[in-house]
Structure 1
Amino acid sequence: MKKRFLPKNVADHTERRNPSKSSERKRPIGKIVERFENLYGALGCRFEYRESKIVQMSERPSSSEKCKKVKTCSSGCLSMEELERKKSPINPYNRAEYPPVQWLPPDVEDTDTSIPCPERETFPMPHIHTVFCPPKDLQKKENGYISATRAKEDCREELARKEQYRKIRDKVEKAVKKHKVFLIRGELPKLKKALEDRGWVQKYESTQTRSLPYGSVTYLEAKSLGDIRLSDGMLNERALMFTMLRHKAPDLIWDCRNDFVDWDCNLKSNTVLNRYQKPAAYTSKLGMANLLQESHWLYELDVADVNCPRSYNLTRELSAFIKDFRLTAAAGLLKWLVESARDGAVDKDRDTFPVDIGQVEFALRRCEECVADAKHESIDQPDPEVSEEEWNRFCDDHNRVLHKENEIPDCRSTPSRLQKAYEAAVTVLEEIKEIDSQYFLNGKRNVWIMKPSHLCCGSGISISHDLKEILRRAETRPKEYFIVQKYIEHPLLVQGTKFDIRLWYLVTCTFPLTIWVFREALLRFSSKPYTFSSYHEAIHICNTAIQEKYDFERRRRRKRGDVIEAAETVRDQGWDCEKLNECLKSMGYKGEPYYDTIYPRMAQAIVMTMLAAQESMDKRRCSFELYGADFMVMEDLSVWLIEINTNPRMHPPSSKISQRLYGSVLDSLVKVIMDLPINPSSDTGGFVLTYMQTVPEFRPYLGPCFFAIGKSMTLHEQPRKKRQERKANICSPWSKQNRAWTAPPTVARLRDPKVVDFIDYLNSAGCAAVN
């Protein structure tokens, strides 16, 4: 049987039972103590050994108990010297407690004699770790205990974890003290980095509560963040911050989800939010269309002006849309006739014509009636009666001529009749051009686009020129689901490809309205050349979410080797605003077309749209919002507002251009929101203050002295005297004098006139009464 060395207390107990064997037990213990003392001395550390005695369970060692330092003589016997324990003068509870010595079995050879003893300068830890720092728990292996090298590594890892924890705790405490805790519902690494560079700390939340209004429920679990300790032994900073900040309300909340949920009513008034509540009144397709119908009252030269394709709500404006659709088709057929005759495609001296000449005369009569109504010349005339059958037949002929050229039959006609129709069409089109502001936008093909009002990323969009198909699609959806908008048939093309412009702007205050517009815009190109032979979304819809699908398909096929890919498209060439400006100059446009014409018109459209939406916007003080406005440019460089996105895509980037712009926009936004209120002269990055509303005390059209002359009126009868006495004896905290005003603060409607009694005004001014 192999001998095993026991701890000191067990050795003392054995000595009492068998005094003859006490010397055999003491000698090996002395050698081991001497060995550890020499090793610790070589490392520059101090080793102390405390000899404990067998005591009863109820007895406790007193504070005056003395420790004895172990010394060995040449013969191997032990001698003890009493040494007083020193108490910490700074903290009486911070006393050195030495762990028991872990003995090694005699049959296990220790190849590494180094003992873990980290330096104070590297890991400043409490006093308990300055004397002896072994691992907390010795892990056993198959062949015995762990080596001293492993113990040293475990000790250093534990100290590193404590240092990491201390740094995270200090950072969180500093951020909480300075109110710099932010919460992001989504994924925006650029915004996170910009805030963390300014000392902000991110607050995380569990997966179960990310779809709920913030503050509506209590969340204390975060399984999606992982364990506190990572696989490499270090601490999980995200999980640790979640634990520290789970009961702390954030000072900034950024919600970048599409399914936006209104904020909870318990949210603090000083919490900064990146969204205004209920923005659908002006950012949805139907909401923006309703607002812009009356936007002409807010027009201001070189400040506020907007062009938007006309739109219809089929639930409420079905008859108006059908009338507009038919009149646009009639004008489109006349445009086709005039352009074909000028280009030589139609010979006016021939006896045959691609369409029945009666349909051309029908279109002429309808356009003349439209001009007469616009000029108020048909007030005393009865409305012409046109049957549905006649309109349907005309629309079918229009579609065959403009969209199905191979199915056009030759119709008999006379040259004189055709010449007369041509001359009348030229005259009518000139009159329509004067009364219709969207004459050039209409084109001749009568193409319309259907968009879901509340969807984004190009979802559910369809294009058609058939009235029956448009009505059939609208019937399959709920009410007010679709908005029908006139399609821009002649957009500005770059290398035969359609594109639109995404311009970001920031609203930092709704009253007075303050708008910041970003200097540079994002050009979004289609993947395929522009044509009307197909209404495929890759040709006509420039949304990034739509075009990325075809980029992925092209990469997948190239990897598989099925298709030999052609030359790169315009979308792959990385176009920016500077490159577009140079392209327009090469096409013959004078000056700086983009910077002098396109960009100012986009900024004016944004200002006018937000002025129209100001009444519907939330008047919260600590709120701001980033918008993305989409514009189309026509061949005459006229700018048309397509839609406004309340949650523009900022991650992930789809190209090198978007990667650069996304980061620049978010970094500039943080400068405007965080740096500018502290330092008015700080840099605002790429954002430029485009509009700041001036709110006078009185409106110019009302004036400060608008009086009504007359006799003063008594609006309410005086109460009886007894009733007044009875009320006077009642002391209620909810009486009119003591009642507190608990309604939320609102902004005064300065457009409402101030009604002032003329007699009271004269009496207060000290003037004589006027009869």
Structure 2
Amino acid sequence: MLMQESYESKPIRFTLPLTTHKKLLQTPAIKQTLISIDTYDNPTFFSYTPKISVKSRKLASKLSTTFQERQQLHLVRRDKFFETEQESILIHSRSIEKSVRPESLFSKVIPFTRSLTSLQKQTKINKKQTPTPQQPEPEVTNSPTHVKKERPQSLHLNSHKDSKRLNRPSTDKVRILKSFYQSKSTDKNIVLKTRANRAVNNKNIFKVKGPYNIMRRQLRKRGWLEQDYESKHSKDRTKTNLKTDNDTDSSGSDYESSSDCPSDEDDYCAVTRIIRNALPNFIITLKSGDTESKFLTKSQFANHFRRTGSFTTKSGLTQTIQDLAWYSDSNPVDFFPRCFLLSSADDQPVFIQDYLKTAAISILKDLKNSIDNGTFKSMENSSSQITNSTVKFAFSVCNEILKSIQHDDVDDISAVTSYDENSPQWKTLLESSYRLKAQQITWENACKNLHQEITALLTSLRDVMPQFNMDGSCNIWIVKPGAMSRGRGIKCLSRLDAILEIVSARVLLKEGKYVVQKYIENPLLIEGTKFDIRQWFLVTDWAPLTVWMYRECYVRFSGQPFSLENFHESIHLCNNSIQKNYSVSISRSSKLPTDNICDLEEFSQYLINITGSDIWNESLFEKAKKILFSLMLSSSPNIESHKGSFELYGADFMISDDLQLYLLEINSSPTMARNTQVTKRLCKQVQEDTIRFVIDSQKSKQQAESCNWVFAGKGPKVNLQSPPYGVCHDMMVLGKQIKPHRFC
């Protein structure tokens, strides 16, 4: 419908004139509509008062015609246009019917493409636009079914730079170029698919989750394809946040962008996308929890075993040490400092008893040393004086310890000391030992009379107590979270109440418990500085157990001179994750490396210089192999094994001043951060040798030697088949462990 507009805000009405196209008027529906619309009996039905803006009124006032007149003019032009187009269509249809078959099939013809439907839609004509003139009738010489269109040309001559008509490219040339690139792309896809199929058939698909780019490159060199590969363009692997397990030692990325992006990066990304749904055969992860061994197929293997927390956590290692007697003849006190679970109802009383015994021995050691060194001080009626009765009580406790170790106390039940830290005698002895550490103590003059007896007793204790020299005389203990690594949460304490306060305050970790371990007070020092040793070892099977030791290791130094008077972590913890937060002390020897790391060659040469023999290769390395193998054997019943899998561990050792080797802890996923010259070489080397040993060789002793792996031991064969039904099926033995004496 058309709208009649009044600029004086008068009522207007809609109407549709009857002068429309003849065919439209013949339609019954149109006739009925026009009759109803053209009825003016009720003008209010089609009327309303529109809201006209001021701007519209100004424009309308400048026009010479009214809105109704302009609409009528538009309708006249439209009707004339429809009639002209209709006549043109009829003329063309008659000429086509009368045309003769052309002599040539290549005559030029301008096809008619306009239809009545499209013309009927073009109803909007501006006032200044003149009606479209009638087009001249073209000569039609060809039949519509035998017309070949001329190739369309470009724009007008004047629109081009050189005033020359530019034709579109030849269809043949476009087809040739298109087919060339399609064939090239098709050949490349065939090559990539062939490469992917070869990797799938050869079971050479791997998956990496963690900072193991050296292993990634080694596998790629061997033709392996990585699943879920992230190229350098899609993601920066150096910025990925890796939330590690508490028992993992890795804290950084070993990513190197210069060597991690080969020239065929795009092709490699394409072929890895083809295998995105394939089953990975080799799974490399940072956390052991990312690999479920029970869901691995026979064609799959991983770089982790499940349930290794029995020796990779401090609390688990403590319990494994207690069960070592069932699997090995090794005595834990020969290589592992005494360790207890503070939150355990069974271990805490044993620890308190051990602490009190060590305090009694420390008092006798201090008295003997002060007399031997000439630093004995006596002052009568002094409040800070250690009385003769306290020394005699400590002497009686040490004598009972000696009898207990030598089993001479079996028939002697008269002298049994009560180890109650709240008793008056023990309170006095503990206060005396605390003052000794502060060097604010004097002795009662009568204590000198016990010098000879104390010397003989301490000599006897030294012979039967393997950790007598390691204990020192300060009674220092190191408290560690049961399931954390990289030196987090570790404290050195010497007071019993401070140690027990950790349990009473319930500042325990969610995963586990705090363990308390005797601190090595007399470590071997290099230029007055404490150090520890990081040793790698590899487990390639648990049924039967197979352990390998890496030939090389490295030594980590503290950045501060050693001191028992200051318990700061920068002095007593050699972890790189701790030392990187502190600068090297100017009072430390300049002979030590500034980055606090040295390799085995320098360390073994130092041992040769101070001992006159190659003690590392002749003694300490062999002892380390025996220690680790016995611990793995003790842990083997708890491990979920999977054929083909392996795991690399990092063990931390210390050496006492009497050249005894002590194990501190074992780390899962040892750090491969190459932040020093030594670790840059060794961490790369151990990963390359591990891949070469696990992937290329058959894990034999001869091939292990070429990969710098030394055979450490193999356990007995394990029968994985379950016994027949009914044979000892319901048999169960329940018991309670008897706590062994920790001094023997």
TM-score by structure 2 length? Answer: 0.65
Report the 3-state secondary structure (helix = DSSP H, G, I; strand = E; otherwise coil) of the residue aligned with 2:648: strand
Q: For 1:182 and 1:102, how far apart are their aligned partners in 2?
A: 57
Q: For residue 607 of structure 1, what is the aligned residue in structure 2?
A: 629
Report the 3-state secondary structure (helix = DSSP H, G, I; strand = E; otherwise coil) of the residue aligned with 1:608: helix
Q: For residue 607 of structure 2, what is the aligned residue in structure 1?
A: 584
**8 Å CA contact 2:480, 2:515 repeated in 1:** yes
Amino acid at match of 1:171: R
Q: Describe the shift of the 1:664–1:572 C-alpha distance in structure 2 as closer, same or farther (beyond 3 A).
A: same
Q: Describe the shift of the 1:306–1:188 C-alpha distance in structure 2 as closer, same or farther (beyond 3 A).
A: farther
Q: How far does residue 690 in structure 1 lie from its aligned partner after superposition?
A: 2.3
Q: How far does residue 504 in structure 1 lie from its aligned partner after superposition?
A: 0.8
Q: For residue 736 of structure 1, what is the aligned residue in structure 2?
A: none
Q: For residue 309 of structure 1, what is the aligned residue in structure 2?
A: 337
Q: Among 341, 348, 353, which residue is 1:318 paired with?
A: 348
Q: How far does residue 212 in structure 1 lie from its aligned partner after superposition?
A: 12
In the TM superposition, 1:723-738 aligns within 5 A as: none
Q: For 1:523 and 1:435, how far apart are their aligned partners in 2?
A: 31
1:194 counterpart = 2:218: yes
Q: For 1:695 and 1:591, how far apart are their aligned partners in 2?
A: 38
Amino acid at match of 2:336: C
1:432 counterpart = 2:423: no
Amino acid at match of 2:514: F
Q: CA offsets, 1:370-420, max 9 Å, x none?
A: 223333326432534565343233212212212x12xx1545x33xx2222
Q: How far does residue 310 in structure 1 lie from its aligned partner after superposition?
A: 1.0
Q: Among 205, 210, 213, which residue is 1:181 paired with?
A: 205
Q: Describe the shift of the 1:104–1:592 C-alpha distance in structure 2 as closer, same or farther (beyond 3 A).
A: farther
Q: Describe the shift of the 1:511–1:452 C-alpha distance in structure 2 as closer, same or farther (beyond 3 A).
A: same
Q: For residue 545 of structure 1, what is the aligned residue in structure 2?
A: 577
Q: How far does residue 570 in structure 1 lie from its aligned partner after superposition?
A: 3.3
Q: CA offsets, 1:524-546, max 9 Å, x none?
A: 11121111222111111111221
Q: For 1:591 and 1:210, how far apart are their aligned partners in 2?
A: 47
Q: Among 488, 510, 518, which residue is 1:459 paired with?
A: 488
Q: Describe the shift of the 1:501–1:165 C-alpha distance in structure 2 as closer, same or farther (beyond 3 A).
A: farther
Amino acid at match of 2:361: A
Q: How far does residue 104 in structure 1 lie from its aligned partner after superposition?
A: 7.7
Q: For residue 9 of structure 1, what is the aligned residue in structure 2?
A: none
1:446 counterpart = 2:475: yes
Unaligned runs of 5+ in 2: 1-104, 113-141, 164-168, 245-263, 730-744
Q: For residue 678 of structure 2, what is the aligned residue in structure 1?
A: 657
Q: CA offsets, 1:275-297, max 9 Å, x none?
A: 11111123221222222224245
**8 Å CA contact 2:556, 2:597 repeated in 1:** no
1:383 counterpart = 2:416: yes
Q: CA offsets, 1:73-107, max 9 Å, x none?
A: xxxxx9xxxxxxxxxxxxxxxxxxxxx99958753
Higher radius of gyration, 1 or 2: 2
Q: For 1:439 and 1:581, how far apart are their aligned partners in 2?
A: 26
Q: May I ask how many residue pairs the two structures share in their alignment?
A: 553
In the TM superposition, 1:449-528 aligns within 5 A as: 449-475=478-504, 476-478=506-508, 480-528=512-560
Q: For residue 399 of structure 2, what is the aligned residue in structure 1?
A: 368
Q: CA offsets, 1:117-144, max 9 Å, x none?
A: 9xxxxxxxxxx9996327x9xxxxxxxx
Q: For 2:488 and 2:605, how far apart are their aligned partners in 1?
A: 33
Q: For 1:613 and 1:523, how far apart are their aligned partners in 2?
A: 27
Q: Describe the shift of the 1:210–1:575 C-alpha distance in structure 2 as closer, same or farther (beyond 3 A).
A: closer
Q: Describe the shift of the 1:164–1:544 C-alpha distance in structure 2 as closer, same or farther (beyond 3 A).
A: farther
Q: For 1:496 and 1:211, how far apart are their aligned partners in 2?
A: 37
Q: Among 132, 148, 153, which residue is 2:176 paired with?
A: 132
Q: How far does residue 619 in structure 1 lie from its aligned partner after superposition?
A: 3.2
Q: How far does residue 584 in structure 1 lie from its aligned partner after superposition?
A: 1.8
Q: Describe the shift of the 1:365–1:673 C-alpha distance in structure 2 as closer, same or farther (beyond 3 A).
A: same
Q: How far does residue 456 in structure 1 lie from its aligned partner after superposition?
A: 1.2
Q: For 1:542 and 1:210, how far apart are their aligned partners in 2?
A: 25
Q: CA offsets, 1:722-762, max 9 Å, x none?
A: xxxxxxxxxxxxxxxxxxxxxxx64779xx999xxxxxxxx
Q: Describe the shift of the 1:691–1:336 C-alpha distance in structure 2 as closer, same or farther (beyond 3 A).
A: same
Q: For residue 290 of structure 1, what is the aligned residue in structure 2?
A: 319
Q: For 2:197 and 2:494, how far apart are their aligned partners in 1?
A: 63
1:667 counterpart = 2:688: yes
Report the 3-state secondary structure (helix = DSSP H, G, I; strand = E; otherwise coil) of the residue aligned with 1:579: helix
In the TM superposition, 1:334-345 aligns within 5 A as: 334-345=364-375
Q: CA offsets, 1:655-677, max 9 Å, x none?
A: 11111111111111112211112
**8 Å CA contact 1:275, 1:624 repeated in 2:** yes
% of aligned pairs identical? 23
In the TM superposition, 1:134-149 aligns within 5 A as: none
Report the 3-state secondary structure (helix = DSSP H, G, I; strand = E; otherwise coil) of the residue aligned with 1:575: strand
Report the 3-state secondary structure (helix = DSSP H, G, I; strand = E; otherwise coil) of the residue aligned with 1:16: coil
Q: For 2:647 and 2:481, how far apart are their aligned partners in 1?
A: 23
Q: For 2:354 and 2:306, how far apart are their aligned partners in 1?
A: 35
Q: For 2:143 and 2:479, how far apart are their aligned partners in 1?
A: 91
In the TM superposition, 1:568-647 aligns within 5 A as: 569-572=592-595, 574-587=597-610, 589-647=611-669
**8 Å CA contact 1:276, 1:624 repeated in 2:** yes
Q: Among 279, 289, 303, which residue is 2:308 paired with?
A: 279
Q: CA offsets, 1:580-637, max 9 Å, x none?
A: 11112222x0221221122111111111111111222223212211111111111121
Q: Describe the shift of the 1:132–1:629 C-alpha distance in structure 2 as closer, same or farther (beyond 3 A).
A: same
**8 Å CA contact 1:451, 1:461 repeated in 2:** yes
1:252 counterpart = 2:296: no
Q: For 1:498 and 1:132, how far apart are their aligned partners in 2?
A: 76
Q: For residue 357 of structure 1, what is the aligned residue in structure 2?
A: 388
Report the 3-state secondary structure (helix = DSSP H, G, I; strand = E; otherwise coil) of the residue aligned with 2:176: coil
Q: For residue 125 of structure 1, what is the aligned residue in structure 2?
A: none
Amino acid at match of 2:600: C
Q: Identify the structure with bigger relative contact order (alpha carbons < 8 Å, sequence gap 6+).
A: 2
**8 Å CA contact 1:348, 1:418 repeated in 2:** no
1:397 counterpart = 2:432: yes
Q: Describe the shift of the 1:160–1:393 C-alpha distance in structure 2 as closer, same or farther (beyond 3 A).
A: farther
Q: How far does residue 435 in structure 1 lie from its aligned partner after superposition?
A: 2.9
**8 Å CA contact 1:164, 1:235 repeated in 2:** no
**8 Å CA contact 2:368, 2:454 repeated in 1:** yes
Q: Describe the shift of the 1:490–1:409 C-alpha distance in structure 2 as closer, same or farther (beyond 3 A).
A: closer
Amino acid at match of 1:338: K
In the TM superposition, 1:70-149 aligns within 5 A as: 106=157, 107-109=159-161, 132-133=176-177
**8 Å CA contact 2:379, 2:385 repeated in 1:** no
Report the 3-state secondary structure (helix = DSSP H, G, I; strand = E; otherwise coil) of the residue aligned with 1:459: coil
Q: For 2:502 and 2:281, how far apart are their aligned partners in 1?
A: 46
Q: Describe the shift of the 1:604–1:392 C-alpha distance in structure 2 as closer, same or farther (beyond 3 A).
A: same
Q: For residue 6 of structure 2, what is the aligned residue in structure 1?
A: none
Amino acid at match of 2:109: R
**8 Å CA contact 1:299, 1:305 repeated in 2:** no
**8 Å CA contact 1:161, 1:235 repeated in 2:** no
Q: How far does residue 447 in structure 1 lie from its aligned partner after superposition?
A: 0.6
Q: For residue 94 of structure 2, what is the aligned residue in structure 1?
A: none
**8 Å CA contact 1:314, 1:484 repeated in 2:** yes
**8 Å CA contact 1:203, 1:241 repeated in 2:** no
Report the 3-state secondary structure (helix = DSSP H, G, I; strand = E; otherwise coil) of the residue aligned with 1:454: coil
Report the 3-state secondary structure (helix = DSSP H, G, I; strand = E; otherwise coil) of the residue aligned with 1:248: coil
Q: Among 701, 704, 708, which residue is 1:686 paired with?
A: 708
Q: For 2:707 and 2:146, how far apart are their aligned partners in 1?
A: 69
Q: Describe the shift of the 1:110–1:177 C-alpha distance in structure 2 as closer, same or farther (beyond 3 A).
A: farther
Amino acid at match of 1:276: F
